[in-house]
Amino acid sequence: MKKLFAFVLTIGLGVLMIFSLRANTLFPEFGDVSIADRISALFLDKSVNGDNGDVVFGQTTDAEDGAANLVTSIVVDYRSFDTLGEVTVLFISSLGVALLLGVAGKQKRLALNFKPNFMLRVGSRALFGIILMTGVYVILHGHLTPGGGFPGGAMIASSILLLYLADDEFRTKVKGFKVLESVAGSLYVIVGLLGLVLATYFLQNFLPTGTVGDLFSAGVLPIVYVLIGLKVGSEISGIIDHFLTEGDLA
């Protein structure tokens, strides 16, 4: 009965959606939106604070936002406050994992149901470095190419996960991750506060934005992305460690 009710409710909601959006003059067909009369048009042109003309890769200098990657310019510059919020979402999730799964006292690894051999251990160490460096590359080039702090941080964490899976003795220093997580998060807020002090507004860019497309460009964006990468990497690694360890009763 309960399942039938849920089914009817779901169908009802679907029908409501179709009927209220179909032939709704306000709701545009897919692909019909004219970007010119949306506020996002000015994000694309980097012209929120006055018209800056065409943005040319490798030539435009000192634009209001120096990121060549449009997604980054929105995520870490125009809507950086939301990103600070998302970082906090991950932070509190990892706090929650630590609260629920963390054990005081001695801890040991959960046993794997196979014995990792020598080749697996050595091979994964070699891969670890490559994945880690790819993660660092993705983070550092977040303002130029697709990627950035979140995927890069996840890559770093995946390299740690590889070590955990390939070696049943392996443990990282969780305390170190905690310090890194705390410092990176605090520095993000402090970058924001520096914007308030050195410029006028919270999270405002207070460094020169350089030439669009250069590695050293876009002001505080790469710095923020490095902090996000470190924070995401250390948080997810910490979560992995909590999931793969248990209290040692012996």
Partner 1 sequence: MSAVLLIAIPLLVAFVSILSKKLAPWLLLATPIANLVLLFLVPTGIVVIGGFQPPFGISLLLDTYSFIALFAVNALVFVIGLLNVKEYHQFSSILLVALAGLNGLILTNDLFNLFVFLEIAGIAAYLIAASNKKPASVFHYLVLGAVGSSFYLFGLIILYAMFGTLNMVDMIEKINAATVSASALILPFFLMFVGLGVEAKLLPFNSWVKGVLGSSNTMSGPMFASVYAVTVSFVFGRLLNNLFAFQGNLLVVVVAILLLGIALGEAMAFSSKKAREILLYSSIAQASVVILLFVNGLVLWGALLAVANAVSKFVLFYVVTKAQKEVGCDDLDSLQGMFQGNYVVGVAFSVAALSVIGIPLFAGFVLKLGYLTELAANANWLAIAVILVASLVEGIYYVRMLVKLWYPGEKEVKVSFGNVATVVIALAAALLLVFGVYRGPIDNLDNTIDSVSEVIDLG
Q: Select the residue interacting with partner 1 from 96, 123, 129, 208 (CB under 8 A).
A: 96
Q: How far is the CB of 191 from partner 1 (least distance, A)?
A: 11
The count of chain residues that interact with partner 1, using the rule CB under 8 A, is 55
Nearer of residues 80 and 245 to partner 1, judged by Cβ: 80
61 backbone φψ class: left, alpha, beta (φ>0; ψ -120 to 50): beta
Within 10 angstroms of residue 128's Cβ, the number of other Cβ atoms is: 16
Closest CA to 153 of 224, 75, 79: 224
Beta bridge partners of 211: 61
The reply on whether position 10 binds partner 1 by CB under 8 A is: no
Check residue 103 for interaction with partner 1 (CB under 8 A). no
Smaller CB separation from partner 1, 99 or 133: 99
Minimal distance in Å, beta carbon 243 to partner 1? 16
Nearest alpha carbon to residue 130 among 103, 110, 156: 156
How far CA 93 is from CA of 21, 96, 156, 225, in Å, comes to: 35, 5, 18, 20
Residues 61-90 that bind partner 1 (CB under 8 A): 77-82, 84-86, 88-89
Q: Is 4 in the site for partner 1 (CB under 8 A)?
A: no
Nearest to 67, CA basis, from 196, 228, 205: 205
What phi and psi values does residue 217 have, to the nearest 5 degrees? -150, -175
Quick one: 91 or 137, whose CB is closer to partner 1? Answer: 91
Answer for which of 201, 208, 216, 243 binds partner 1 (CB under 8 A) is 201
**Does the protein bind partner 1 through residue 169 (CB under 8 A)?**
no
Q: Give whichever of 95 and 127 is closer to partner 1, judged by the CB atom.
A: 95
The reply on whether position 26 binds partner 1 by CB under 8 A is: yes
- Helix H or strand E encompassing 156: helix 149-166
Give the integer Cα–Cα distance in Å for 240 and 103: 14
Q: Which residues form the interface with partner 1 (CB under 8 A)?
A: 16-17, 20-21, 24-28, 33, 37-40, 42-43, 48-49, 77-82, 84-86, 88-89, 91-93, 95-96, 99-100, 178-179, 181-182, 185-186, 189-190, 192-193, 195-196, 199-205
